Amino acid sequence: MKRNIIIIVLIIGLINEVKAQQDAYYTSYNNNLSSINPAFSIGNEGALRMGFMDRAQWLGFEDAPNTAELFLHYAFTDISEGSITIQRDQLGKILNETTISLDYSHNIFINPYSYFSLGLKVSATMFNSNLEGLLLESGHYTTDPNFLKDPKKFFPNVGVGAFWYDEDYNYYLGLSVPNLFSSKYFNVEEDTYKYKLENPHVYFTGGTLFELENDITFRPSFLLRYANKNPFTIDVNGMFQFRDKFDIGLSYSLGVSASAFAAIKFNDNWKIGYTLGMPTNKLFSQQFGSHEFYILYDINFRGTRYRSTRSF
């Protein structure tokens, strides 16, 4: 039984790295802030962003985690916006889950250049596992009754968020809890020992913009994450944008990883980006880093310009 519990703990740790509802992690999270904050807003009627993002993590490990998402964000009016995100997490052939999220945000304009938004997220996660590939100390997985049934579960959830944007001073702040309810995947008991997963996570984000010379802007941002009984994690990003066409930058997740990223915009609407991340902990020598790829499509059907939050 001790061996079985160790295996479950390992699975739980991996799930926490790729969990779609709350823990799906992208260095380039700014490209789809709706995934962590349903109140994220563009503030321009008719503005639409579509995108696809893929993160391959810990390359070099067998059955390394992979996360991919497809999303669409649209501003129905200047004060009413919505988005849909379909996200799939996979851990080799052992675990996979798909989450569909619907977001709605309502903007309250303080003046023509500043607004406050409140948002609501409704999501559903379909979780599946295939434990046949596990080798136990006792032999085949069927030798232990805890592994005879592959968990297949469905988790509905709701989340809330708040978002502030000021174009006069070029900054934004966001606070959100994308999933208010805990989710439990495995419940293995030995005496009184239980395993539960997915406590609500709190996200605090912010960013600003500095206009430099020769059509160059510098866009620093941060992401602070917290979950009950877990330490704070802090991501700090710095991006230079050249003539609204090329992006390069660095990102550091305190005590976890460092990343470099670049993107190119073409045809005024399309952007393609890539990020390479390397761990700064003991995993450094054990794998080949994490790789992110994204492609974005932006258009405004009303013909007005995008607000700066598009590029944060």
Indicate the pairing of strand 171-177 with strand 152-166.
antiparallel
pTM of the model: 0.82
Q: Supply the pLDDT for residue 143.
A: 60
pLDDT band at 139 (very low <50, low <70, confident <90, very high): low
DSSP strands (E only) in 191-256: 201-208, 210-211, 216-227, 233-242, 246-253
Question: Percent of the chain beyond pLDDT 70?
Answer: 72
Question: Quick check: 170 pLDDT over 80?
Answer: yes
Among 1-15, 146-160, 233-247, 292-306, the range with the most confident prediction by mean pLDDT is 233-247
Spell out the domain ranges in the chain.
2-311
Residue of higher predicted confidence among 286 and 211: 211
Can you name the CATH fold of 2-311? Porin (2.40.160)
pLDDT band at 200 (very low <50, low <70, confident <90, very high): confident
State residue 132 phi and psi, 5-degree precision: -60, -30
Q: Average the pLDDT over each of 27-41, 195-209, 263-277, 294-308 and give the range with the smallest value.
A: 294-308
pLDDT band at 302 (very low <50, low <70, confident <90, very high): confident
> Average pLDDT in the 87-107 region?
88
